[in-house]
């Protein structure tokens, strides 16, 4: 075990400064500093505030991760970092820090994709990811169905993480955040809707299921749309307020959550069936949602599909996921990234590892 490489991963794509340390598949430390409280009063992440917070938190978070793991920086065999997608200024702090570490330590650097890292993290909890597997990636910025044949992107055709569908408007997490705001719940809204929904009736209101009509399915079988749902919730709440009746927050939260989860799970299982894939991985911040986890387990079991969802703390942004993907890169002998590695705010999901240009 101990001769497996020690990989340090850095995550700064949004508002969490994450530093994870893994040895092989073993998670040794997952240190996080969040600037979420500084953004809450704006109802969304303020990029400039996030970048400054990363700058302040980076060195203490690295030190905390090393202390927890009981290792010294000199023990690190490779450094991995999220180089996209995400907020440009925030990514730059992580990328610059990772380069400095790699250069100072004389160790290889792996610039990896944030979205693939959300998938790779599950190997730390449930063992190596089966390939092929179907990944439902649901976060604040993305909602995608991915066919994963090589999580390092090193497939025979240079691929390995291939999109089957994605949202055509809002991401699932964005919908949670916007609906939470409408209901007067704090930012980020996902966990608050999740909590409020536990007291509510999920069939109280029949909210629309986006891109699910027969006609939509012809063109958008594996795509998602959540903006119509968000508008439907807004109209419903407005009508209630106009009538002078109180808004039943728990029922609205539960019915909205049901509509989101229903579409996500149905399309994910349809995509798996269409590819003959029997393993479904769910990752990203929204995968922390309790109803999504329960519904996916239940419906997948009926179809004989195995579901893997990391524990909630590994679903939301963290450094362990970056270390988990970095350590897979090392294990599979992928060529490290060049030290002129850029930050790429709109990095496509298919670009899993930064290579020399």
Query: Which residues make up the interface to ligand KG4 (CB under 6 A)?
Result: 14, 139-141, 173, 176-177, 188-191, 194, 284-286, 288-289, 316-317
What residues numbered 120-139 form the site for Zn ion, per CB under 5 A?
139
Residue 142 beta carbon to ligand KG4: minimum distance, rounded to whole angstroms: 7
Instruction: Rank residues 98 and 185 by Cβ distance to ligand KG4 and give the closer one.
Output: 185
Residue 120 beta carbon to Zn ion: minimum distance, rounded to whole angstroms: 12
Instruction: Rank residues 88 and 217 by Cβ distance to ligand KG4 and give the closer one.
Output: 88
Q: Which residues contact 259 (CB under 8 A, 6 or more apart)?
A: 207, 208, 209, 229
Angle (deg, nearest 10), helices 47-69 and 88-105:
30
Give which of ligand KG4, Zn ion, none residue 189 binds (C-beta under 5 to 8 Å, depending on kind). ligand KG4
The arrangement of strands across the sheet holding 306-308 comes to 161-166, 143-148, 133-138, 279-283, 306-308
Instruction: Rank residues 87 and 133 by Cβ distance to Zn ion and give the closer one.
Output: 87
Residue 305 beta carbon to ligand KG4: minimum distance, rounded to whole angstroms: 22
Residue 6's DSSP bridge partners are 23
Of 77, 67, 79, the C-alpha closest to 6 is 77
d(CA 62, CA 74): 13
The arrangement of strands across the sheet holding 78-84 comes to 26-34, 16-23, 6-11, 78-84, 109-113
Instruction: Rank residues 98 and 237 by Cβ distance to Zn ion and give the closer one.
Output: 98
Give which of ligand KG4, Zn ion, none residue 24 binds (C-beta under 5 to 8 Å, depending on kind). none
Residue 304 beta carbon to ligand KG4: minimum distance, rounded to whole angstroms: 27
Of the residues 122, 270, 317, 351, which one makes contact with Zn ion according to CB under 5 A: 317
Of 81, 145, 141, 76, the C-alpha closest to 109 is 81
Residue 320 beta carbon to ligand KG4: minimum distance, rounded to whole angstroms: 13
Instruction: Rank residues 108 and 189 by Cβ distance to ligand KG4 and give the closer one.
Output: 189
d(CA 164, CA 178): 26
d(CA 84, CA 95): 10
CB 144 within 8 A of CB 115: yes
Instruction: Rank residues 26 and 34 by Cβ distance to ligand KG4 and give the closer one.
Output: 34
Residue 357 beta carbon to ligand KG4: minimum distance, rounded to whole angstroms: 26
Q: Which chain residues interact with Zn ion by CB under 5 A?
A: 139, 317
């Amino acid at each position: 075990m101990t001769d497996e490489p020690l990989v340090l991963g850095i995550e700064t794509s949004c508002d969490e400064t994450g530093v994870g340390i893994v040895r092989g598949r073993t998670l040794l430390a997952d240190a996080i500093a969040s600037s979420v409280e500084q953004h809450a009063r704006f109802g969304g992440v303020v990029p400039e505030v996030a970048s400054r917070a990363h700058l302040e938190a980076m060195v203490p978070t690295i030190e905390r991760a090393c202390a927890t793991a009981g290792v010294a920086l000199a023990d690190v065999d490779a450094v991995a970092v999220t180089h996209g997608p995400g907020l440009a200024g925030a990514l730059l702090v992580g990328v610059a820090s990772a380069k400095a570490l790699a250069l100072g330590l004389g160790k290889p650097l792996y610039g990896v994709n944030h979205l693939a890292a959300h998938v790779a993290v599950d190997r730390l909890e449930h063992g190596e990811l089966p390939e092929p597997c179907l990944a439902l990636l649901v976060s604040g910025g993305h909602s995608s169905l991915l066919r994963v044949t090589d999580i390092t992107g090193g497939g025979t055709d240079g691929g390995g993480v291939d999109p089957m569908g994605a949202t055509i408007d809002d991401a699932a997490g964005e919908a949670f955040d916007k609906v939470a705001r409408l209901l007067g719940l704090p930012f980020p809204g996902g966990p608050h809707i999740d909590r409020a929904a536990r007291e509510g009736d999920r069939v109280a209101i029949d909210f629309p299921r986006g891109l699910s009509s027969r006609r939509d399915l012809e063109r958008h079988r594996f795509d998602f749309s959540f903006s119509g749902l968000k508008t439907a919730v807004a109209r419903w709440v407005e009508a209630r307020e106009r009538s002078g009746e109180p808004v039943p927050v728990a029922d609205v939260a539960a019915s909205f959550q049901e509509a989101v989860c229903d579409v996500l799970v149905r399309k994910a299982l349809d995509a798996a069936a269409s590819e003959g894939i029997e393993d479904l991985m769910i990752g990203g911040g929204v995968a922390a949602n309790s109803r999504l986890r329960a519904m996916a387990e239940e419906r997948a079991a009926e179809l004989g599909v195995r579901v893997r969802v990391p524990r909630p703390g590994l679903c939301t942004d963290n450094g362990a996921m970056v270390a988990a993907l970095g350590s897979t890169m090392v294990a599979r002998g992928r060529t490290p990234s060049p030290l002129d590695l850029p930050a790429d705010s709109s990095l496509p999901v298919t670009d899993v590892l930064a290579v020399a240009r």
